[in-house]
Chain A
Amino acid sequence: MGLKTKMHAEEGKQDLIITREFDLPVELVFKAHVDPELIVQWKTLPNTTAKILKFGGKKHGSYQMQSTDAQGKIVSSVSGVIHEFIPNQKMIRTFEVENAPIGVQLEIYDFERLTDNTSKLSMHVIYESGAIRDQLLKMPGASGYTMGMAHDRMQELMNKFK
């Protein structure tokens, strides 16, 4: 079966469109994106525990999230500012991984009701440059930088068993 998530990155551009249809009412998809208790359950890096330090779900609000590994070491800190916050419809925010050379990206989330029990999410992500976008896409990982670090550590660990 193919992936339900569609991704479109036009060559030579600096943005990315991710779309996904959910077998869920739009209210629940929106909630999963803005409720700190829920965010940490799905929007995480592999083998890490996410912690929301702050989530101001409103216009001019801001958020901060930290991921720690099994030893409690911080592997990534992400943060951003919320520019638009319309429940069950739209969220516009910035996103950056602190201390990562990937700049700040603008994320536009459109939540759309399809039926009472299905919905569609479109994410439009705009990067500082086309080069940064391509760099991120090539590294298998959202915020490829931190994910790459996690993979590196795993690699280190597994090398011992070679």
Chain B
Amino acid sequence: MNLRRDVFQAIADPTRRAILLLVASQSMTAGAIAANFDTARPTVSKHLQILTECELLNQEQNGREIYYQLNAKKMKEVAEFIEPFRKIWDDRFNKLETIMKNYKPKK
């Protein structure tokens, strides 16, 4: 069974974050990306595979070359992942505010 890649684990790695930054400005081939790192080429390939599997990168065939480009839509989802949690706390605090505005101490 192929383990499903977790997008948050994917961006937890510094090399993968650097790759995302690199391709953010322009599509690049695996070779061009690897040239930016001291790490071995197969290691960079593995990072590219992980980023592609969790859809942070898209592959585009151009002649004989495969170009990697950033999937902006997926990146946006990652940036917004905290929103539902924030919304729940915001709702709670709004409720607190309403309750306490009407609060009359018993005495």
Chain A contacts to B: CB under 8 angstroms: 3-7, 9, 11-12, 18, 20, 22-24, 28-29, 31-32, 38, 41-43, 121, 130, 134, 136-138, 140-142, 144, 147
Contacts and interface: CB of A to CB of B under 8 A. Distances in A.
A5 B86 contact: yes
A4 B93 contact: yes
B59 to A, nearest CB: 25
B99 A138 contact: no
Nearest to A43: B92
B100 A29 contact: yes
A137 B96 contact: no
Interface residues of B, number: 22
B23 interface: no
Contacts of A142: 85, 88-89, 92
- Tell me whether chain B's interface is mostly helix, strand or loop, or mixed: helix
A24 B99 CA distance: 11
Contacts of B82: 7, 9, 137
A121 B94 CA distance: 13
A20 B99 contact: no
Interface string B81-107: 110111111101111110111010000
Nearest to A18: B89
B11 interface: yes
B3 to A, nearest CB: 15
Nearest to B98: A42
Contacts of A29: 96, 100
A41 B99 contact: yes
A141 B85 CA distance: 6
Given A5-B89, A7-B89, A134-B8, A42 B81 contact: no
Contacts of B94: 4
Most buried by B among A7, A130, A147: A7
B40 interface: no
Nearest to A30: B100
B102 to A, nearest CB: 11
Nearest to A7: B86
B27 to A, nearest CB: 25
B75 to A, nearest CB: 13
